[in-house]
Chains A and B, each alone.
Chain A
Amino acid sequence: MTSFYFIAIAAMAVIAFVLGRQRAAAMPGGTRQLHSLPVYHGLFAASAAVIPMLLIAIVLGPLLPRLVEAHALGLLPTDLQPTDELAKATRLREILMVADGTAPAGSVADPVVVAGEAYGSWRSFAGWGALVLGIVAGVAGMLLSLRTVAPGFRARNRFEVIVKIVLIACSAVAILTTVGIVFSVLFETLRFFARYPWYDFLFGLQWSPQTAIRTDQVGQSGAFGAVPLFVGTTLIMLIAMCVAGPIGLFSAIYMAEYASPRVRSVVKPLLEILAGVPTVVFGFFAALTVAPFIRQLGQSLGLDVASESALAAGLVMGIMIIPFVSSLSDDVINAVPQSLRDGSYGMGATKSETIKKVVLPAALSGLVSAFMLAISRAVGETMIVVMAAGLTGNLTFNPLAAVTTVTVQIKTLLVGDQEFDSAKTLSAFALGFVLFFFTLILNVIALKIVQRYREQYD
């Protein structure tokens, strides 16, 4: 039915456009006498037809199915009335199967069959009704707009207002996304904190979210102390930054200050390729090549290395972030004005002295923000740690041990068979909340710093 509706919208748009344009072109005196080109009259008529149809779809789309569902459930006798959400979902699935004719004979109770059949007929009635209503509204809109066609009618200006509203709506999508993120994590987080105290979550030292199935089971509450996750995330991030920081910075310095254009033209794409490798590939590399290698290396040195060591994950994550650090630092270093360098060279300083004593201090705030963005990247990275880091929350800073991270736990808690509405599921949103706000704050500060830095040298 939805597709029919959209076909109807498209058809109405075309019809209204053609009619509007023809009517305008047929105005006495020819197109020269028109304020707006016939095309704009056509476009205006088309929007006049489409907008009411879309409004009806937006209003009725979510509303109608619920009405029909409520109606069908109302037909059930009291003993079959669902008592909770789960039962309601099951009942509705049965009704839907009857309506679709996919229910095996005898699998559902007779009253449900009755309700299901009623559901089916109501559903198609509602669908057709919405379609007819939409077409009527579209035709009405089109006729009204056709009546306005006149030489002096400013169809272009009207149409441009509509276009502008559409443009504004599109740019609001980005805002809506942020709002959506904030609310989706916030609500679930609040629900989680209603069951589990927030200070235990933020400062608890034990993470074992495996909520038991039976309520009388020992340890059924589960422990949601997130500190081990924060420690694990920090550890892996620090290892990654130890790799990406110096290497990214030094390659940026070399690229910006030393490299000939030819070297640049080779190295820049190389770093871009590295930046374009999907994280799942790095994860595969970390889990199947680097981790066993580090484990063997450690064993040959007599060290006890976990097979999912933080070192392997951090190392590969560092490699992943190198291009990120280097391109941001490259931009920052290039923004330092040449006059500063010239001043230093003029006093007889070597290139490296100039870089160390003049360029880097001048670029310091920009570099700090580049590192902050890289840290936020490392903290939010998921696939590498999902594939190469551990699952148990160890409270350790030993890089050879297995640790787990915030992102790993979000993934683990939400993938697979979810328990509806359990503390386990909700805790993942609480972790997402922490992750989102931590990275958001880092990003905001970093972007502010970099903005001020740019203004300084503009």
Chain B
Amino acid sequence: MTDAAVVRGRVLDLTSDTARAHVRRRYQAEARFRAYGIGAILFAALALVVLVGDIVIKAVPAFTIAELTMEVNVTAEAIDPTGSNDPAVIARGDFIKPIRDSLLAMFPAAAENRRQRQALYGLLSSDAAMALRDKVVADPALIGTRVSVPVLVSDDVDLFYKGLVTGIEELPTRGIGSPSATTGTVTLLSSANDFSEELVRVKQALAEQAAVLRQERERLRDIDQTNAADLVAAREQLTAARASGAGVAALEGAVTKYESDEASLKATLDGLSARIADLENRFDTAGSPETLDATAPSVLVEINGGVIKATELGNDRIVGEVLIPLTSTDNAQPDAWRTIVLDTPEANRKLSDQEIAWLQQIEEKGLVSERFNFLFFTSGDSREAELAGILGALVGSAFTMLVTLIICLPIGVASAIYLEEFAPKNRWTELIEVNINNLAAVPSIVFGLLGLAVFLNFFGLPRSSPLVGGLVLALLVLPTIIIASRAALKAVPPSIREAALGVGASHQQAVFHHVLPLAMPGVLTGTIIGMAHALGETAPLLLIGMIAFIVDVPQGITQAATVLPVQIFLWSDLPEIGFQAKTSAAIIVLLLFLFLMNGIAIVLRKRFERRW
């Protein structure tokens, strides 16, 4: 007691080891804290990079498009059967037929089989004849002649030529290849073991498969053991229960269940063991032929102008189906034939081996070219990925933004002027201010509800139109513009107002002649930022029906239209990979517009920034 009551003078301990350790710990904590901050910023930066990078990578394929250059016989019976020479009649002509004929002429074997023919035609876009039609309508003299035109392919074909459908690997050929027939099932012999490499790979896959199955077998064995133990326990319990005579029925049921489980597990395990043994056996006997199915990479052999798809693979031979008939059964020298492997199994891609065989041949003929995809910027929406473009959405966005700007700029600036310059400080003004701040934080979808209930249902304005979209977005960005404009007006020093008032300007003259022009850069900066916000807004527009599928480019603000972000939303829902690229490309266009707008805002702010 007495000790504790003594007040001791304390000396700050700086030199002892514990003190040093304490200081070190404090500095470590400091460094850690700092690292958290840097980590947080790096995470945000990383997120941005991954986001933009991911979208750019996905978007790249959409900016180019594959095109076939084909020689087409423009026959009069398809285009202008009556010989009218009338552009209106010609425009309605069947331009797809000459192109299909020309394609069929390349692969005459496909003509005999209806399904093959349809598959061949399916390689072309549904609007493949676009260029031909334009050309012939512009120059009817071409009817009856043979012209060379670019032909649009379907989106899957486009992706194939961009290498996005499957990886293609060419195997070297050293021996002389000799096919047994030109059509049907053929055997191809090679004088060297040209297929051994691929066979090794196939065997390797067997070994991997066996390993997976072995793991599965281990897992099942564990279950089996537990089950067996349970069964033993249950039997013992049953014996005990029989002795006591209680709960026998339930235990009997349990035992029966365990027994049947045991039996089925045994059967499964036996099956697995057999498959594993088979796989291991096949793997061990190197060089024994293997069967290829749709879940394995496809092996195609190009020889004598035809293509054989391997169904069975040996070291020096394949057995396969002819996809494109061979011209002869002659022996082919080592550099005159080749073997290609399609990495993605046929079951996992949209294009069959047959279609790829055709496409490979077309490419080897030098008919395929990649060019910048102008169509993406000059056409409206479409159900076909290769035809879909963003022009409709861009024009829709432009109309919507126009309506938004016309409404929210004057109203926003006017209310900012009133609140900042003329409003008396009273409850009413305060209410407006609180209200504007809150409105700025109301979820955007609520504005969609407002648009739906008020503009569509009450005022009966046209659904899906840029007019309604623009109105809704105007209300949405109004608070942003008011707040920015007020800040800009506030930044103009009162001495300017006083100077104007001093020479006898009325308050309104002082504001409109001096204050507002000086605040204008700030107002415009706020407006541009608000418009950028409106340009990227999606949710409220969905509710007022701007989500409709619209092919035509809108002509006015009361027509049905869609806007860029909604177009992105619509495309993102479609399963085709082609649309995924289009979505990303549309996002890039949208982001470019937003960066441009924000850039202008920053330049404006920098350029007209005035220090008073």
Contact = CB atoms under 8 A, between A and B. Distances in A.
A254 B454 CA distance: 46
B421 to A, nearest CB: 9
A76 interface: no
Contact of A278 (B54, B437, B565, B573): B565
B457 to A, nearest CB: 9
Contacts of B566: 280
Interface in A407-440: 407, 410-411, 414-415, 428-429, 432, 435-436, 439-440
B352 interface: no
Interface string A298-338: 00000000000000000000010011001000000000000
B443 A174 contact: no
A415 B569 CA distance: 13
Contact of A435 (B47, B58, B443, B584): B443
A436 B443 contact: yes
A273 B432 CA distance: 31
A170 B410 contact: yes
A167 B422 CA distance: 9
A180 B450 contact: yes
Given A278-B536, A352-B29, A174 B445 contact: no
Interface in B250-309: none
Greatest chain A CB density within 10 A among B29, B508, B591 is at B508
A246 interface: yes
B436 A174 contact: yes
Nearest to A450: B437
A19 interface: no
Contacts of B608: none
Given A177-B475, A246-B40, A281-B590, A270 B443 contact: no
B575 to A, nearest CB: 11
Interface in A172-196: 172-175, 177-178, 180-181, 184-185, 187-188
Contacts of A198: none
A350 interface: yes
Chain A interface size range: 35 or more
A379 B441 CA distance: 11
A255 to B, nearest CB: 8
Contacts of B431: 175
A370 B475 CA distance: 24
Contact of B591 (A156, A254, A281, A407): A281
B91 interface: no
Chain B interface size range: 35 or more
A22 to B, nearest CB: 22
A250 B37 contact: yes
A174 B439 contact: yes
Interface stretch (A93-101, A128-136, A207-215, A282-290): A282-290
B39 interface: yes
B419 A171 contact: yes
A440 B446 CA distance: 11
Interface in B431-476: 431-432, 434-439, 441-450, 452-454, 459, 475
Given A279-B538, A407-B539, A175 B449 contact: no
A439 B447 CA distance: 13
A281 B449 contact: no
A443 B439 CA distance: 9
Contacts of A255: 41
Nearest to B23: A350
Contacts of B449: 181, 184-185, 410, 414, 428-429, 432
A410 B539 CA distance: 10
Given A174-B432, A274-B48, A279-B536, A352 B30 contact: yes
Given A383-B539, A383-B569, A376 B37 contact: no
A269 B423 CA distance: 35
A280 B565 contact: yes
Given A185-B453, A246-B40, A247-B40, A287 B542 contact: no
Given A277-B51, A322-B47, A251 B422 contact: no
B580 interface: yes
Contacts of B40: 246-251, 254
A90 to B, nearest CB: 16
B148 interface: no
Interface string A143-179: 0000000000000110010011011101111110110
Given A164-B422, A178-B435, A376-B441, A280 B446 contact: no
Interface string B24-53: 001101101110111111011101100100
Given A279-B538, A280-B536, A273 B48 contact: yes
Contact of B445 (A62, A180, A376, A407): A407
A407 B584 CA distance: 24
Contacts, number: 250
Contacts of B584: 284
B539 A411 contact: yes
Greatest chain A CB density within 10 A among B435, B449, B482 is at B449
Contacts of A439: 441-443, 446
Contact of A174 (B47, B415, B459, B532): B415
A280 B570 CA distance: 10
B324 interface: no
Nearest to A62: B459
Contacts of A449: none
Given A170-B411, A380-B445, A415-B542, A285 B51 contact: yes
Greatest chain A CB density within 10 A among B411, B446, B583 is at B446
A353 B41 CA distance: 20
Contact of B54 (A279, A289, A326, A377): A289
Contacts of A247: 40, 43-44
Contact of A352 (B34, B44, B508): B34
B453 A188 contact: yes
A6 interface: no
A260 to B, nearest CB: 12
Contacts of B437: 443, 447
Contacts of A170: 410-411, 414-415, 418
A383 B569 CA distance: 8
Nearest to A36: B506
Contact of A440 (B48, B410, B438, B590): B438
A117 interface: no
Contact of A436 (B422, B442, B573): B442
Nearest to B568: A280
A342 interface: no
Contacts of A164: 418, 422, 508
B418 A171 contact: yes
A352 B442 contact: no
Contacts of B36: 250
A280 B569 contact: yes
A166 B414 contact: yes
Contacts of A277: 51, 536, 591, 594
Given A411-B542, A435-B443, 18 more contacts: A164-B418, A168-B418, A170-B411, A174-B435, A184-B449, A185-B446, A188-B453, A248-B40, A267-B41, A276-B595, A278-B536, A278-B590, A280-B565, A322-B44, A326-B44, A351-B30, A380-B445, A432-B446
Shortest Cβ-Cβ A-B pairs, 7 listed: A380-B443, A254-B37, A278-B536, A184-B453, A171-B415, A170-B414, A250-B40
6 contacts: A172-B432, A178-B439, A181-B447, A254-B41, A440-B438, A443-B442
Interface of A: 62, 156-157, 160, 163-164, 166-168, 170-175, 177-178, 180-181, 184-185, 187-188, 246-251, 253-255, 258, 267, 270-274, 276-285, 287-289, 319, 322-323, 326, 350-353, 355-356, 373, 376-377, 379-383, 386-387, 407, 410-411, 414-415, 428-429, 432, 435-436, 439-440, 443-444, 447
Interface of B: 26-27, 29-30, 32-34, 36-41, 43-45, 47-48, 51, 54-55, 58, 410-411, 414-415, 417-419, 422-423, 431-432, 434-439, 441-450, 452-454, 459, 475, 478-479, 482, 506, 508, 532, 535-539, 542-543, 545, 547, 565-566, 568-569, 572-573, 580, 583-584, 587, 590-591, 594-595, 598
